[in-house]
């Protein structure tokens, strides 16, 4: 298994992987497709096994007001037939070692039991707009004590909704 930056030729394979890994939702695939379409700056890697894309991870900017304050980890997925074999852990550990990622406060809305294994801790601030009481919101390397609502790239809000005129806005 190799871990590589996502190339343009593998983008469609990633959308297909996300649709399979999240069978009840097209949100994740549509979100990543929107990032690519809008050329939104993200960090993303894939696991390649026998020429197939079997896992994907992405990080996009997190905002405090208009300032970038770290990165959101989302989405992350492993192809169903490769889940629970250590692939997701290997990809996440790899990403956390990369210079662009390890130097930043990181945030994730996800299953605490999974992300705690990698050093993420539940946080009461910043506040995640998509999670009641931050019950599934975790951070790593974040030292802020100030209470504020964290911002996401506009695609998190516009995905799955009709596009609006007026360009990109952060939520
Ligand atoms: C969540 C996901 C990325 C984990 O990747 P993976 O390759 O299956 O995970 P690993 O094999 O590296 O698992 C490591 C450990 O975490 C556990 N784990 C995996 N998913 C978990 C979950 N959702 N909740 C709690 N524990 C989980 C595994 O049981 C394993 O435990 P073990 O070492 O005691 O056996 C993958 O299962 C997946 O794509 N799921 C569907 C999409 C999804 O939910 N994405 C994450 C959004 S937060």
pLDDT of residue 4: 98
Share of the chain above pLDDT 70, in %: 94
pLDDT the model gives residue 165 = 42
Q: Which of 73, 74, 78 to mutate to test the pocket of ligand 1 (most atoms within 8 A of CB)?
A: 78
Would you state the structure tokens that stand for residue 98, as one six-digit string? 């990369």
Q: Whose CA is nearest to atom 26 of ligand 1?
A: 114
Whether the upstream peptide bond of residue 110 has omega within 30° of 0, thus cis, is: no
Which residue's CA is the nearest one to ligand 1's atom 4? 88
Confidence of residue 161 (pLDDT cuts 50, 70, 90): low
Those residues with Cβ within 8 angstroms of residue 102's Cβ, 6 or more apart along the chain or in another chain: 96, 141
pLDDT at 160: 80
> Which ligand 1 atom is at minimum distance from the Cα of 113?
25
Section 98-127 average pLDDT: 96
The residue whose CA is least distant from atom 27 of ligand 1 is 114
Query: Residue 91 C-alpha to ligand 1 middle, in angstroms?
Result: 11
Q: How many CB atoms lie within 10 A of CB 152?
A: 20
Candidates 19, 88, 89, 111: which one to mutate for ligand 1, based on the most atoms within 8 Å of Cβ?
88
Question: What residues does ligand 1 touch, defined as CB less than 6 Å away?
Answer: 21-22, 76-78, 83-89, 110-111, 113-114
- Does residue 162 surpass a pLDDT of 80? no
Please give the number of the atom of ligand 1 that sits closest to the Cα of 75. 47
Q: pLDDT-derived band of residue 33, with 50, 70 and 90 as boundaries?
A: very high
**For ligand 1, atom 21: residue with the closest CA:** 114
CA triple 94-133-126, angle to 5 deg: 55
Residue ranges and CATH numbers for the domains of the chain are: 2-158 (3.40.630.30)
The overall average pLDDT reported for the chain is 93
Mean pLDDT of 93-97: 98
* pLDDT digits 0-9 by tens, 37-81: 999 999 999 999 999 999 999 999 999 999 999 999 999 999 999
**Looking at the predicted structure, is the pLDDT value of residue 134 above 80?**
yes
Under the banding of pLDDT at 50, 70 and 90, the label for residue 168 is: very low
């Amino acid at each position: 298994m190799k871990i590589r930056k996502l190339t343009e030729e593998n983008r469609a394979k990633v959308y297909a992987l996300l649709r399979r890994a999240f069978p009840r939702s097209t949100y994740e695939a549509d979100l990543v497709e929107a990032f690519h379409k809008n050329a939104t700056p993200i960090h993303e890697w894939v696991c390649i096994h026998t020429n197939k894309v079997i896992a994907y991870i992405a990080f996009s900017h997190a905002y405090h007001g208009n300032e970038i304050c770290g990165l959101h980890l989302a989405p992350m997925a492993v192809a169903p037939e490769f889940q629970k074999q250590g692939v997701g852990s290997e990809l996440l550990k790899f990403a956390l070692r990369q210079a662009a990622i390890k130097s930043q406060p990181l945030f994730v809305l996800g299953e605490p039991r999974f992300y705690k294994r990698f050093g993420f801790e539940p946080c009461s601030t910043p506040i995640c707009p998509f999670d009641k009481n931050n019950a599934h919101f975790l951070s790593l390397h974040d030292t802020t004590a100030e209470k504020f609502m964290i911002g996401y790239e506009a695609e998190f809000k516009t995905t799955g909704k009709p596009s609006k005129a007026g360009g990109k806005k952060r939520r």
